[in-house]
Amino acid sequence: MLYGKMSRGFLLRVICAWRMRGVPCERWCLFAMSSTYVLTATGNCRKRAGESCNTHADCASELCTVRTCCAVSHCRDCSGAQGSCVTCVDGYVLHESVCMRVAATGEPCHGDYMCTAPASCASASSKICCRPSYGSRCIACTADGTCTACLADYDVSIRPEAPCALSLGRTCGADGDCASTACHLTSRMCCDTQHCDQCNGNGKCTKCLSGYVLDTDNIMPLSRSLGLRCLRVAIVGEACVGDIVCPSSSSCASIEPRVCCRPSYLRRCRACAADGRCTQCLADYVLSQNSSQCLFTRGLKCTLDAECFSGSCFSEPQLETIPRPPLAANRGSVRSVPLTEHASGAHPCSPAAAMLTTSASR
């Protein structure tokens, strides 16, 4: 009678529950318990995802967390519906209910979600994770994760705190917003240099503030600009990067220490001391006896005696132009031209006083 009160399904559940521990389940067992157990690839009967569990062996997924069989591996919390994952273990990220391994910098990726936040998965090049420091603004990077191209309106910068920063001419709020590190105070746009007084709509500085000079000699390259196109004007003896920053007529020494030399050397000095005194002149020049000037050496053109180290600027005498004598009446005759026929005052040893001969053309 007691047996008659027991349903057939209940008995099947009891029998299968006893046999499922390592023993292959029969089809009639699966039929009776299909809502709780599934047959694994190894032929064992294990609980479905979402069912309660005590050990990993209880679950078909072989993962029991928070006393629940998980639907996916590498999950830390499977308390979601039907054992869906809520959070993944360290080193994995949840994407579309699946725990996927986080890719390291330079490793292949399928999307930004696989890269260490806030890094991006390069979309304009091979799908690899760029360095996290670039944020989500990088669209192309090399195998080591170095950014080579940024989103529109951004440029690559060498500053680690803002590798992809605003391009020239873009609206900014502070210097750090711009790849050039220069946000113009008046126009509030990214300019190509700091210390700029006037910056055009393209972000190009046209005039520097007082005490600065615009780098028209392109001493500092504009590529990956550091905002140094407006250079501070140096005084004699101060460090310099080129003649453009030194006072008028002064030069920047071409060898160390690179300082502005004294103007008296007229930009003819190659090396000078920390006080601006020249110690070596350029080629074709020599220091004066008191080392206050760089003077011409012998053989160079000059206009004043003071320009020459010898103290003498010699002007070569100009030869007089001698008029051609008239053709002789008798063609073919040759005659001597006496010295008295030349202009008076000619030096007796000059070419103008030499004997000339003329020959009539036949």
- Domains of the chain by residue range: 2-70, 88-165, 167-232, 245-315
> What does the block give as tokens for 329?
């009446």
**What gap in Å lies between CA 116 and CA 133, rounded to an integer?**
10
Residues in the chain: 362
Give the model's pLDDT for residue 228.
65
Contact between residue 252 and residue 265 where contact means Cβ atoms under 8 Å apart: no
Distance spanning both ends of the chain, measured CA to CA: 161
Contacts with 358 (C-beta within 8 Å, 6 or more apart), sequence order:
324, 325, 327, 328, 334, 335, 337
Count of Cβ atoms closer than 10 Å to residue 88 Cβ: 21
**What gap in Å lies between CA 46 and CA 39, rounded to an integer?**
6
**What gap in Å lies between CA 290 and CA 255, rounded to an integer?**
22
Q: Is the pTM of this model over 0.75?
A: no
Please report, as a single letter, which amino acid is at residue 310.
Answer: S
Contact between residue 139 and residue 160 where contact means Cβ atoms under 8 Å apart: no
Give the model's pLDDT for residue 314.
76
Q: Which helix (H) or strand (E) holds 15?
A: helix 8-19
Give the model's pLDDT for residue 347.
43
Give the model's pLDDT for residue 244.
87
Contacts with 177 (C-beta within 8 Å, 6 or more apart), sequence order:
162, 165, 166, 183, 190
Number of DSSP helices (H) and strands (E) in the chain, helices first: 3, 22
> What does the block give as tokens for 214?
């615009």
Give the model's pLDDT for residue 106.
85
Q: Which helix (H) or strand (E) holds 99?
A: strand 98-101
Nearest to 49 by CA among 93, 98, 91: 98
Residues 265-278 pLDDT 10s = 888 888 988 888 88
How many Cα neighbours within 13 Å face the side chain of 228?
12
Give the model's pLDDT for residue 230.
87
Backbone angles phi and psi of 16, in degrees to 5: -70, -35
Nearest to 252 by CA among 237, 264, 289: 237
**What gap in Å lies between CA 281 and CA 309, rounded to an integer?**
12
- Show pLDDT as tens, one digit a residue, over the chain (362 residues): 444 434 444 454 555 555 544 444 545 445 545 678 888 877 788 888 888 899 988 998 888 988 889 988 888 888 877 888 888 999 999 988 889 999 888 888 888 888 887 778 887 667 888 888 777 788 888 888 888 888 888 888 766 666 788 999 999 999 888 888 889 988 999 998 889 999 998 898 999 999 999 887 777 664 444 556 788 899 999 998 888 889 888 889 888 888 999 888 888 888 988 888 888 888 888 888 887 888 888 777 788 877 888 788 876 654 455 555 555 555 444 444 444 444 444 444 444 434 333 333 33
**What gap in Å lies between CA 89 and CA 94, rounded to an integer?**
9
How many Cα neighbours within 13 Å face the side chain of 184?
28
Do the strands 205-208 and 212-214 form a parallel or antiparallel pair, or are they unpaired? unpaired
Give the model's pLDDT for residue 316.
60
Nearest to 181 by CA among 169, 171, 166: 166
Give the model's pLDDT for residue 192.
86
Long-range contacts of 235-238, Cβ-Cβ distance < 8 Å, separation of 24 or more: 235/260, 236/260, 236/261, 236/262, 236/263, 236/275, 236/276, 237/274, 237/275, 237/276
